[in-house]
Protein backbone atom coordinates (compact mmCIF):
# COMPACT_ATOMS: atom_id res chain seq x y z
CA UNK A 1 0.00 0.00 0.00
CA UNK A 2 1.21 3.47 -0.81
CA UNK A 3 1.79 5.69 2.25
CA UNK A 4 -0.44 8.56 3.29
CA UNK A 5 0.80 12.15 3.51
CA UNK A 6 0.26 14.29 6.61
CA UNK A 7 0.69 18.04 6.14
CA UNK A 8 1.42 19.91 9.37
CA UNK A 9 1.79 23.60 10.21
CA UNK A 10 2.73 23.50 13.90
CA UNK A 11 6.02 25.29 14.56
CA UNK A 12 6.74 23.57 17.89
CA UNK A 13 8.61 20.30 17.38
CA UNK A 14 6.84 18.48 20.18
CA UNK A 15 3.42 19.63 18.97
CA UNK A 16 4.17 18.52 15.40
CA UNK A 17 5.43 15.16 16.63
CA UNK A 18 2.37 14.84 18.83
CA UNK A 19 0.07 15.52 15.90
CA UNK A 20 1.77 12.81 13.86
CA UNK A 21 1.39 10.39 16.75
CA UNK A 22 -2.27 11.33 17.16
CA UNK A 23 -3.05 10.65 13.50
CA UNK A 24 -1.24 7.32 13.74
CA UNK A 25 -3.38 6.46 16.74
CA UNK A 26 -6.64 7.53 15.08
CA UNK A 27 -5.95 5.85 11.74
CA UNK A 28 -4.14 2.73 12.89
CA UNK A 29 -1.40 3.36 10.34
CA UNK A 30 2.19 2.33 11.01
CA UNK A 31 4.79 5.14 11.20
CA UNK A 32 6.23 4.24 7.81
CA UNK A 33 2.74 4.51 6.30
CA UNK A 34 2.31 8.18 7.23
CA UNK A 35 4.87 10.61 5.83
CA UNK A 36 4.81 14.03 7.48
CA UNK A 37 5.75 17.31 5.81
CA UNK A 38 5.90 20.44 7.97
CA UNK A 39 4.74 23.29 5.80
CA UNK A 40 5.76 25.99 8.26
CA UNK A 41 9.38 24.83 7.97
CA UNK A 42 9.70 25.38 4.24
CA UNK A 43 7.94 25.39 0.87
CA UNK A 44 5.95 22.33 -0.12
CA UNK A 45 8.27 20.21 -2.26
CA UNK A 46 7.24 19.01 -5.68
CA UNK A 47 5.15 15.89 -5.16
CA UNK A 48 3.88 13.10 -7.36
CA UNK A 49 0.45 12.59 -5.80
CA UNK A 50 0.28 9.13 -7.35
CA UNK A 51 2.86 8.13 -4.73
CA UNK A 52 0.29 8.54 -1.94
CA UNK A 53 -2.91 6.77 -1.00
CA UNK A 54 -4.35 9.97 0.43
CA UNK A 55 -3.59 13.31 2.07
CA UNK A 56 -4.35 14.51 5.59
CA UNK A 57 -4.11 18.13 6.74
CA UNK A 58 -3.86 18.72 10.47
CA UNK A 59 -4.44 21.75 12.66
CA UNK A 60 -2.16 24.60 13.61
CA UNK A 61 -1.88 28.27 14.54
CA UNK A 62 -3.24 29.65 11.26
CA UNK A 63 -6.87 30.57 10.58
CA UNK A 64 -8.45 31.00 7.16
CA UNK A 65 -10.33 34.05 8.46
CA UNK A 66 -7.21 35.88 9.66
CA UNK A 67 -7.10 39.40 8.16
CA UNK A 68 -4.71 39.55 5.22
CA UNK A 69 -2.84 42.42 6.85
CA UNK A 70 -2.11 40.30 9.90
CA UNK A 71 -0.82 37.22 8.11
CA UNK A 72 2.86 36.46 8.33
CA UNK A 73 4.96 35.67 5.27
CA UNK A 74 5.00 32.03 6.38
CA UNK A 75 1.21 31.86 6.60
CA UNK A 76 0.79 33.41 3.16
CA UNK A 77 3.28 30.94 1.68
CA UNK A 78 1.56 27.98 3.35
CA UNK A 79 -1.83 29.13 2.05
CA UNK A 80 -0.41 29.41 -1.47
CA UNK A 81 1.14 25.95 -1.27
CA UNK A 82 -2.13 24.42 -0.05
CA UNK A 83 -4.22 26.21 -2.67
CA UNK A 84 -2.06 24.78 -5.44
CA UNK A 85 -2.22 21.32 -3.91
CA UNK A 86 -6.00 21.48 -3.52
CA UNK A 87 -6.35 22.43 -7.18
CA UNK A 88 -4.94 18.99 -7.98
CA UNK A 89 -6.81 17.19 -5.19
CA UNK A 90 -10.22 18.51 -6.24
CA UNK A 91 -9.57 18.17 -9.95
CA UNK A 92 -8.59 14.52 -9.52
CA UNK A 93 -11.00 13.81 -6.64
CA UNK A 94 -8.12 12.49 -4.57
CA UNK A 95 -8.67 11.25 -1.00
CA UNK A 96 -8.17 14.26 1.28
CA UNK A 97 -9.00 14.52 4.98
CA UNK A 98 -8.82 17.96 6.55
CA UNK A 99 -9.09 18.25 10.32
CA UNK A 100 -9.47 21.59 12.07
CA UNK A 101 -7.42 23.98 9.88
CA UNK A 102 -8.36 21.72 7.00
CA UNK A 103 -12.00 22.85 7.20
CA UNK A 104 -11.21 26.48 6.49
CA UNK A 105 -8.55 25.62 3.93
CA UNK A 106 -10.72 23.26 1.90
CA UNK A 107 -13.81 25.39 2.46
CA UNK A 108 -12.27 28.64 1.23
CA UNK A 109 -10.78 26.85 -1.76
CA UNK A 110 -14.25 25.62 -2.73
CA UNK A 111 -16.07 28.90 -2.11
CA UNK A 112 -17.32 28.49 1.45
CA UNK A 113 -17.86 31.44 3.78
CA UNK A 114 -15.41 30.93 6.64
CA UNK A 115 -15.45 33.61 9.33
CA UNK A 116 -15.72 34.14 13.08
CA UNK A 117 -19.48 34.57 13.25
CA UNK A 118 -19.81 31.24 15.01
CA UNK A 119 -16.51 30.96 16.86
CA UNK A 120 -16.68 28.49 19.73
CA UNK A 121 -15.50 28.61 23.32
CA UNK A 122 -13.72 25.50 24.56
CA UNK A 123 -16.64 23.26 25.43
CA UNK A 124 -18.50 20.01 24.82
CA UNK A 125 -21.48 20.40 22.50
CA UNK A 126 -24.16 18.06 21.13
CA UNK A 127 -23.65 17.23 17.46
CA UNK A 128 -26.53 16.12 15.24
CA UNK A 129 -26.28 14.31 11.94
CA UNK A 130 -28.08 15.90 9.00
CA UNK A 131 -30.08 13.70 6.60
CA UNK A 132 -27.08 13.86 4.25
CA UNK A 133 -24.79 12.71 7.02
CA UNK A 134 -27.07 9.89 8.10
CA UNK A 135 -27.01 8.56 4.53
CA UNK A 136 -23.24 8.92 4.13
CA UNK A 137 -21.27 5.65 4.46
CA UNK A 138 -18.47 7.65 6.09
CA UNK A 139 -20.67 8.13 9.16
CA UNK A 140 -22.23 4.67 9.17
CA UNK A 141 -22.88 3.49 12.72
CA UNK A 142 -22.88 6.97 14.24
CA UNK A 143 -25.78 7.83 16.53
CA UNK A 144 -28.05 10.60 15.30
CA UNK A 145 -26.77 12.76 18.15
CA UNK A 146 -23.46 12.63 20.03
CA UNK A 147 -21.27 14.94 22.09
CA UNK A 148 -17.93 16.33 20.91
CA UNK A 149 -15.32 18.73 22.22
CA UNK A 150 -14.90 21.97 20.23
CA UNK A 151 -12.98 25.22 20.54
CA UNK A 152 -12.29 27.05 17.28
CA UNK A 153 -12.03 30.75 16.47
CA UNK A 154 -13.74 30.34 13.11
CA UNK A 155 -16.37 28.22 11.45
CA UNK A 156 -17.78 27.43 8.04
CA UNK A 157 -20.85 29.69 8.03
CA UNK A 158 -21.92 28.73 4.52
CA UNK A 159 -20.96 25.39 2.94
CA UNK A 160 -19.49 25.58 -0.59
CA UNK A 161 -21.76 24.67 -3.51
CA UNK A 162 -19.70 21.51 -4.10
CA UNK A 163 -20.13 20.30 -0.52
CA UNK A 164 -22.76 19.07 1.89
CA UNK A 165 -23.07 19.45 5.65
CA UNK A 166 -23.02 16.00 7.22
CA UNK A 167 -23.23 17.03 10.88
CA UNK A 168 -23.62 20.22 12.85
CA UNK A 169 -23.86 21.42 16.45
CA UNK A 170 -27.37 22.22 17.63
CA UNK A 171 -26.12 25.80 18.22
CA UNK A 172 -24.46 27.79 16.78
CA UNK A 173 -25.21 26.80 13.16
CA UNK A 174 -21.67 26.15 11.98
CA UNK A 175 -20.70 23.14 9.89
CA UNK A 176 -18.25 20.80 11.64
CA UNK A 177 -18.29 18.13 8.93
CA UNK A 178 -18.60 18.78 5.22
CA UNK A 179 -17.69 16.81 2.14
CA UNK A 180 -18.45 16.47 -1.55
CA UNK A 181 -21.68 14.47 -1.89
CA UNK A 182 -21.10 10.98 -3.22
CA UNK A 183 -17.36 11.56 -3.33
CA UNK A 184 -14.64 9.42 -1.81
CA UNK A 185 -12.30 12.39 -2.06
CA UNK A 186 -12.22 15.64 -0.08
CA UNK A 187 -13.65 15.59 3.43
CA UNK A 188 -13.24 18.20 6.19
CA UNK A 189 -13.84 17.78 9.90
CA UNK A 190 -13.86 20.65 12.40
CA UNK A 191 -12.04 18.82 15.14
CA UNK A 192 -8.40 17.96 15.67
CA UNK A 193 -6.72 14.88 17.15
CA UNK A 194 -4.59 17.24 19.24
CA UNK A 195 -5.70 15.99 22.64
CA UNK A 196 -7.36 12.73 21.70
CA UNK A 197 -5.17 10.87 24.21
CA UNK A 198 -1.83 10.96 25.99
CA UNK A 199 1.00 12.19 23.83
CA UNK A 200 4.37 13.84 24.20
CA UNK A 201 4.19 17.63 23.94
CA UNK A 202 0.55 17.65 22.88
CA UNK A 203 -0.72 20.53 20.79
CA UNK A 204 -3.34 21.10 23.46
CA UNK A 205 -0.49 22.28 25.71
CA UNK A 206 1.10 24.37 22.98
CA UNK A 207 -2.13 26.17 22.12
CA UNK A 208 -3.70 26.16 25.60
CA UNK A 209 -6.32 23.63 24.53
CA UNK A 210 -7.99 26.01 22.09
CA UNK A 211 -8.49 23.20 19.60
CA UNK A 212 -9.81 19.94 20.99
CA UNK A 213 -10.44 16.47 19.68
CA UNK A 214 -13.78 14.84 19.13
CA UNK A 215 -14.17 11.45 20.74
CA UNK A 216 -15.49 10.37 17.36
CA UNK A 217 -12.48 11.52 15.32
CA UNK A 218 -10.95 8.05 15.32
CA UNK A 219 -14.17 6.59 13.96
CA UNK A 220 -14.37 9.12 11.12
CA UNK A 221 -10.71 8.81 10.15
CA UNK A 222 -10.91 5.02 10.27
CA UNK A 223 -14.02 5.02 8.09
CA UNK A 224 -12.38 7.43 5.63
CA UNK A 225 -9.20 5.36 5.58
CA UNK A 226 -11.14 2.14 5.02
CA UNK A 227 -12.99 3.64 2.06
CA UNK A 228 -9.76 4.97 0.55
CA UNK A 229 -8.02 1.61 0.89
CA UNK A 230 -11.02 -0.29 -0.48
CA UNK A 231 -11.22 2.03 -3.48
CA UNK A 232 -7.50 1.62 -4.12
CA UNK A 233 -7.78 -2.17 -4.04
CA UNK A 234 -10.81 -2.13 -6.33
CA UNK A 235 -8.94 0.08 -8.78
CA UNK A 236 -5.90 -2.15 -8.66
CA UNK A 237 -3.80 0.43 -6.79
CA UNK A 238 -0.59 -0.35 -4.95
pLDDT digit string (tens) for 157-173?
888 888 888 888 776 55
In this predicted structure, the answer to whether residue 231 has a pLDDT above a threshold of 70 is no
DSSP per residue over 24-93, as a string? HHHH---GGGEEEEEGGGSPPPP--GGG-SEEEE---S--TTS-GGG--HHHHHHHHHHHHHHHHHHHHT
In this predicted structure, the answer to whether residue 192 has a pLDDT above a threshold of 70 is no
pLDDT band for position 206 (cuts 50, 70, 90):
very low
pTM: 0.79
Query: For residue 110, what are the domain limits?
Result: 4-234
pLDDT given for residue 165 in this prediction: 82
Up-side HSE of residue 118: CA atoms within 13 Å toward CB?
18
pLDDT given for residue 210 in this prediction: 29
pLDDT band for position 104 (cuts 50, 70, 90):
confident
In this predicted structure, the answer to whether residue 224 has a pLDDT above a threshold of 70 is no
In this predicted structure, the answer to whether residue 14 has a pLDDT above a threshold of 90 is yes
pLDDT given for residue 9 in this prediction: 96
Cβ proximity of 121 and 145 under 8 Å: no
Total structural domains in the chain? 1
pLDDT given for residue 68 in this prediction: 93
Distance CA 37, CA 42 (A): 9
pLDDT digit string (tens) for 132-142?
888 888 788 88
- CATH number for position 154: 3.40.50.880
Distance CA 195, CA 212 (A): 6
Distance CA 66, CA 43 (A): 20
Cβ-in-10-Å burial (0-12, 13-18, 19+) of 2 comes to: middle
Amino acid sequence: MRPFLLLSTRAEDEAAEGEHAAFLRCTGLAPEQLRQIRLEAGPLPELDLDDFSGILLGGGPFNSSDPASGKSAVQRRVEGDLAGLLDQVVDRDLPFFGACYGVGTLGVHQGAVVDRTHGEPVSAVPITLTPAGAADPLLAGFPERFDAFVGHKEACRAVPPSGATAARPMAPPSAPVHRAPGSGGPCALAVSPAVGGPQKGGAGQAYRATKLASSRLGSVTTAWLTRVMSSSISAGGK
